[in-house]
Amino acid sequence: MSDDSAPTAQRALVVDDEVELGRLVGDYLSREGFAVDVVRNGADALELARTTAPDVVVLDVCGERPPTARRTAPCRSGRVSGSGWSW
């Protein structure tokens, strides 16, 4: 018998070009109960966001060229198609 009332872990997406820093942030979020995905760039973040619909995104806006912030603008505005976001 399954317990359908069990809470589902919230999903977090960490975007950081520095592998160790991304893992560190991911570890902290995991300890707080999040299911965590870590990627290294904005293109990978958008691709993953379309399929996983994270509840929170932790974004390093300083590392990537072109800047991650510009690449993930659709994510920040809630316009990632197929994810079900409704901001």
Give pLDDT tens digits for 41-50: 888 988 999 9
pLDDT in tens, 25-39: 999 999 999 999 999
Q: Which helix (H) or strand (E) holds 44?
A: helix 42-52
HSE-up of residue 11 (Cα within 13 Å, Cβ side): 13
11-76: CATH architecture: 3-Layer(aba) Sandwich (3.40)
pTM score, whole prediction: 0.68
Structure confidence by residue, pLDDT tens digits, 61-70: 765 555 555 5
**6 close to 28: Cβ distance less than 8 angstroms:** no
User: Any idea where the domains of the chain sit in the sequence?
Assistant: 11-76
Cβ–Cβ contacts within 10 Å for residue 87, how many? 6
